[in-house]
Structure 1
Amino acid sequence: MDFDLNEDQSLLRDSVERLCAGLYPSLEARQGHAKAPLGFPDANWQKFAELGIFGLPFPEEAGGFGGGPVETMLVMESVGRHLVVEPLFPTLVLGATALRLGGSSEQLARLAPGLIEGALRLTLAHTERQSRYDLFDVATTARRDGGGFVLNGAKSIVPNADSAGLIVVSARVSGERRDRAGIGLFLVPADAPGVSIAPYPTQDGGRAAEVSFSNVPLPADAVLGDPEGGLPLLERVIEHGIAALAAEAVGSMETLHRLTVEYLKTRTQFGTTIGAFQALQHRAVDMLIELEQARSMALYAAMMVDAEDANARAAAMAAVKVRINTACRNLGQEAVQLHGGIGMTMEYLGAHHFKRLAMIATQLGDTPHHMRTITDAEDGLLAA
């Protein structure tokens, strides 16, 4: 199998890497960007738009470039490598995937141009306080009202909700709280009457929010796809999110491994650099092994995320997340230990990569959750 990039993919990788390196030359630059009112400068967002990043997920007939999972992987690796604070993940991956896979031709025509130009940002609101990682555990309701719906409920840890123009919200149209049927995905304007957003900073330098909905009126064309059969679409969106997080983790681990090796080569103890000690060399190699295994799984995720067999796809993406979570923990902890005290100092770039990797290991499902998914797939329960 040929894993080489084609000419267009190589150009995309190099262009995104140059942009991210230019915007994030240092930790101080990142911290400055994060102090902007929405957690990132709008000027930076427009530079990503000018590069054509937001057109990647959409087909050419919708004004996009018809990119796929490999192109998203290349972008997200640079996001991780430079700890980009702009909300590319919620817009480019979560929101755009929901719109691309579930949106009608009219919805694409209406919304895709603004997103591609950088004028519109999206995010996904699916987690609730009681739901943990179960996508089907939905207490938020969308009650039918004439030709439309009325939305009530609350969502937690919604990424970058305070900078989004539209929020893709999972809500129950019918059935009980943990039924798999009866769930729809709705496009909700962030400034709609009855929408309340309480934003806060996250541990990794990003932003999230608690979002509540009180009698929010929605027209019929706010629904993405089937209003009572939206769970499969939501699962597809999360699978694309896992593939993107795997790529971001690889980029971050690359940088953290490089910083650790450089530190071993320069830190002196007992009259020599600590990198001269064979035991520490072995631990640096262990970090490299974790990185390369994670890279293999990120490639596997890009290959499997659009597989037609839903059960095989779900099991594959769960396996990807388990391995990525393990690599994030093992490589991150080794980096901290090999650095000593400086590894947890907030004035040091490596500590921020460690924080981001720790967050990725819990985002969109921790290891026990995805191990259960793998077990269910082996037992044939996913088809139930």
Structure 2
Amino acid sequence: MDFELSEEQRLLQDSLKRLLTDRYGFEQRRAHATSPEGWSREIWSAYAELGILGLPFAEEDGGFGGGPVETMIVMEALGSTLALEPYLTTVVLGGGFLRHGADAALRSELVPRIAEGGLLLAFAQTEPQSRYDLGDVETRARHDGGAWVIDGRKGVVLHGDSADRLIVTARTGGGTRDRRGIGVFLVDARAEGVSRHGYRTMDGGRAAEIQFSGVRAAAVLGDPEDGLPLVERVVDEAIAALAAEAVGVMEAAHLLTLDYLKTRRQFGTAIGSFQALQHRAADMMVQLEQTRSMAMYAAMMAMDEDAGERRRAMNAVKVQVGRAARKLGQESIQLHGGIGMTMEYAIGHYFARLTAIDTLFGDAERHLRQLSDAGGLVPAG
């Protein structure tokens, strides 16, 4: 199997790295994080000019026809600078729901607006009782005339405070944890009955608590009576994207740590000359390269039409990424010593993002249980 990037993919990689290197230093990121929206509209416009906002969409819908490998390239680059813009929520998650659940008319209406940077999406799924269970939904949707009306509450909606449209899971039938009876709805974030409370997350990003009271949905994505398979497919693709982002975060954290070991001096010599610390830095490299391999595997499996195979693959990816990210993050903090715990130094922010990546859509231990229940990555027989 050929793991080499094509000429077009290398050009994408180089162009995005150059943009982020020039315009997304650590101090610039801190300024973006403290702005009212918590990210940069100017940088978002630069992403649009570069073409990455329309990257995964079909050309006939107004996109550029990219796939999971292109998404992997973008997410790794964004991870390396801890970029704060809502790429995951708008392009990966929101875009995934449009690609797999929207009709051609809706795609042709929304995709060009996303590609030009004029439309932001957010996925409102998590509820107070649901934790990591995608099928645990209490928010209700009822038919009223020709429209669906939504009532309920969603929490930790990433970039939900700045989104223009919300993609909301709501129960159209059955009990709270039934697999069937879940619909996916597109809602105008400024519609009557939508109440949003935004806040900053522990990794420097943004999220919101959102209340829906008699809110009329603008559209239905997929089957309103059986939307959970659509949700699971899009989340699997998001997990692949998060694995790539983790590689970028881990690589940057590793390089920062190596640089610190080469410059920090104790007892008259650089601490990087101590063999015990060299061994720990080598262990960090092993964790990074194992995660890189799993991110490539995730990109390969993200478009698999076999839901069971794809789910087992993403379970395995989440286990590796979560455990490796925690190990590398802890080592990077410990090798930096006390300075690694300060908000003024970058390494702690990288560790915070790795921690957030581990918990998004289920931590390593949850996915290990799911993989075990499924019989392993390669089930016997």
Fold shared per TM-score above 0.5: yes
Rounded to whole Å, the distance in 2 between the matches of 1:290 and 1:204 is 21
Shift of 1:41: 2.2
Structure 1 position 15 matched with structure 2 position 15:
yes
1:170-227 Cα distance to aligned partner (Å, 9 max, x none): 00011111100011100001000000110000111100000110001225xx100111
- Residue aligning to 2:117: 118
TM-score (norm 1): 0.97
Shift of 1:364: 1.2
Task: Write the mapping of 1:38-77 to structure 2, written as runs, cut at 5 A.
Answer: 38-77=37-76
Q: RMSD between aligned alpha carbons?
A: 1.2
- Residue aligning to 1:216: 215
Amino acid at match of 1:217: R
Q: Tell me how many residue pairs correspond in the alignment.
A: 378
Q: Where does structure 1 lack aligned partners over 5 or more consecutive residues? A: none
Rounded to whole Å, the distance in 2 between the matches of 1:22 and 1:153 is 43
Task: Write the mapping of 1:27-42 to structure 2, written as runs, cut at 5 A.
Answer: 27-42=26-41
What's the secondary structure of 1:378's corresponding residue?
Answer: coil
Rounded to whole Å, the distance in 2 between the matches of 1:337 and 1:35 is 27
Task: Write the mapping of 1:266-345 to structure 2, written as runs, cut at 5 A.
Answer: 266-345=263-342
Rounded to whole Å, the distance in 1 between the matches of 2:194 and 2:75 is 30
- Residue aligning to 2:360: 363
Between 367-376 and 56-65, report the one with greater CA deviation. 367-376
What's the secondary structure of 1:300's corresponding residue?
Answer: helix
Shift of 1:241: 1.0
What's the secondary structure of 2:214's corresponding residue?
Answer: strand
Structure 1 ranges of 4+ moved more than 2 A: none
- Residue aligning to 2:236: 239
1:277-311 Cα distance to aligned partner (Å, 9 max, x none): 11110000000000000000000000011112111
What's the secondary structure of 1:163's corresponding residue?
Answer: coil
Amino acid at match of 1:167: L
- Residue aligning to 2:251: 254
Q: Would you say the 8 A contact 2:258–2:281 is kept in 1?
A: yes
Rounded to whole Å, the distance in 2 between the matches of 1:236 and 1:197 is 27
Shift of 1:106: 0.9
What's the secondary structure of 1:162's corresponding residue?
Answer: coil
Rounded to whole Å, the distance in 2 between the matches of 1:121 and 1:299 is 28
Rounded to whole Å, the distance in 1 between the matches of 2:32 and 2:132 is 31
1:128-157 Cα distance to aligned partner (Å, 9 max, x none): 110011101000011011211110001110
Percent identity of equivalent pairs = 58
Between 56-65 and 37-46, report the one with greater CA deviation. 37-46
Rounded to whole Å, the distance in 2 between the matches of 1:378 and 1:195 is 42
Amino acid at match of 2:285: L
Q: Would you say the 8 A contact 2:188–2:217 is kept in 1?
A: no
Shift of 1:379: 7.8
- Residue aligning to 2:24: 24
- Residue aligning to 2:260: 263
Q: Where does structure 2 lack aligned partners over 5 or more consecutive residues? A: none
